[in-house]
Amino acid sequence: MAGDDSCKSVAIRIQQHLVIPDFLQSVSLKYVKLGYHYALKHFMYLALLPLLVAAAAEIGRVGRREHIWLLWESLHLNLINVLFCSAAFVFLATVYFMARPRRVYLLDFACYKPDDRYKCSMEVLEDFAAKSGKFNDASLEFQKKVVWRSGLGPETYVPAFVFDEPGTEPSMRQARREAEQVMFGAIDEVLDKTHVKPKDIGMLIVNCSLFNPTPSLSAMIVNHYKLRGNIKSFNLAGMGCSAGLISVDLAKDLLRVHPNSCALIVSTENITQNWYVGNDRSMLVTNCLFRIGGAAILLTNRTRDRHRAKYELVHSVRTHKGADDKSFGCVEQREDELGLRGVSLSKNLMAVAGEALKTNISTLGPLVLPISEQAIFVAHLVARRILHMKHVKPYIPDFKLAFEHFCIHAGGRGVLDEIQKNLQLGSWHMEPARMTLHRFGNTSSSSLWYELAYSEAKERIRRGDRVWQIAFGSGFKCNSVVWRATRNLDKPYRNPWLDCLHRYPVDMSAHASPSPS
């Protein structure tokens, strides 16, 4: 027995000696990687440090007074050269500051939160679909499964017509009422939060993909708020869920050529007249995912507003894959065999979105990634393309080194799963998108702002933090916008998450499993 115990103790000691080096090796590799990123990030400072030390030693050896006296003699004897050089410096500095693009700031934004009477649980949706008499049994079961697996919770919002008497057809008046409630509700809140007067708004950009009445939605806003007569007004239609970031890019271009201006962006989608009532499965998915929502965003280029702005616009990158027929037709508004209109989603949507994302980040990467990540990416590219080393896997840059926060369009659970896998993001980074999908559903172009509102409500945004907003849209488009926080953001006093924040994050594992029925 004593011999057995001694053998066991020896085995345990050997096992410990084998495990500890592996642990130390993983820790050392971790710190080697961190040291590598730090060294390249601060390479300029590390390279200049020896030169500064040498210069300081030389000044101490020769003597400070002698250098100052020689400098004064040089300036005294060359007064004309000094004046010429000073004038040239002032001229060049003036040209530089006048020619550089004006900085664009985000003063604040507001997300519309509908009344509680429009909340749509699974039971409400099933009851409406069954009583409408528009769907066969297979379509009813299909919609039920899609909603269960989609990641949507029981408190998303639907239009008022869902609660009307069965058989009531949505009208243009009801669609306008939905648009007014969403747009005016968000605008009222953002004007109240920023104390900006309607007459101070010089640019108005409204994006709504499927509902485009006459007069336009932008004209409705101009009429309601009595905006000034020379306002630059734009109404973007048919551009899908990425139209919100297209609006930001358009506002950026306008603000960089019109000084001392404010731009109001309104991002929304209208559900009332775009609810599909047929049995084509490719068009039924939109009924299960899209919900009421909207956001109003105030941008400015006024320097005096910088101290109270929340973010500064850093980059905007747009990618359009419409030249490819497969990409162009993967999201399409059309009529089914019975002439019923809806939005069809192709089966290759995920593949198209992946290609668009790859193209977009290949443009965005060099603008935001640290030089350390770019060096590794180039090394892998050379190994695969030039040296033909097939065993070397494609390198995916670590975008967590470039951004602290990610706002990814909450198009559906499948979309979020693919992006998380491709970008190698953690659950904390994906939390705003997944919780927005659960609480508000897919609100199209405004979903990114509900996600940013979630991060603000959680008090995660600190000064200098970088936020990456990325969205996909029909056509097919993939657009990115990068913001930098100008100050620490405390919990806002008005936010769509405040009444339910204590319940989030929620466990999404139940929505990943098949329906129990």
* Residues in contact with 449: Cβ distance below 8 Å, sequence separation at least 6, in sequence order: 109, 111, 244, 267, 295, 297
- As a whole number of angstroms, the distance between CA 22 and CA 28 comes to 10
Is residue 81 part of the annotated active site? The answer reads no
The tokens describing 170, both together, are 């949505």
Burial class (CB in 10 A: 0-12, 13-18, 19+), 162: buried
- Compute CA 166 distance to the chain's CA centroid, rounded to the nearest angstrom: 38
Q: Could you tell me the sign of the dihedral formed by the alpha carbons of 334, 441, 206, 218, in that order?
A: positive
Q: Which of 287, 296, 202 has its CA nearest to residue 248?
A: 296
Question: Measured between alpha carbons, how far apart are the two ends of the chain, in Å?
Answer: 59
- As a whole number of angstroms, the distance between CA 142 and CA 517 comes to 11
- As a whole number of angstroms, the distance between CA 163 and CA 165 comes to 7
Question: Which entry of 207, 208, 320, 511 is annotated as an active-site residue?
Answer: 320
- As a whole number of angstroms, the distance between CA 423 and CA 34 comes to 19
Is residue 320 part of the annotated active site? The answer reads yes
Is residue 405 part of the annotated active site? The answer reads yes
Q: Which of 506, 361, 360 has its CA nearest to residue 437?
A: 506
> What are 106's strand-pairing partners?
299, 311
CB 177 within 8 A of CB 206: no
Q: Could you tell me the sign of the dihedral formed by the alpha carbons of 468, 469, 473, 475, in that order?
A: negative
The tokens describing 108, both together, are 């604040």
- As a whole number of angstroms, the distance between CA 284 and CA 275 comes to 9
Rounded to 10 degrees, the C-alpha dihedral 165/168/173/176 comes to 80
Rounded to 10 degrees, the C-alpha dihedral 22/26/27/28 comes to 100
Question: Which entry of 235, 274, 301, 442 is annotated as an active-site residue?
Answer: 442
Q: Could you tell me the sign of the dihedral formed by the alpha carbons of 31, 32, 34, 35, in that order?
A: positive
Question: Which entry of 111, 274, 360, 405 is annotated as an active-site residue?
Answer: 405
Residue 476: cis peptide before it, omega within 30 degrees of 0: yes
Residue 368's CB is within 10 A of a number of other CB atoms, namely: 20
Whole-number Cα distances in Å, 493 to 139, 457, 506? 43, 9, 23
| Active-site residue list | 241, 320, 405, 409, 442
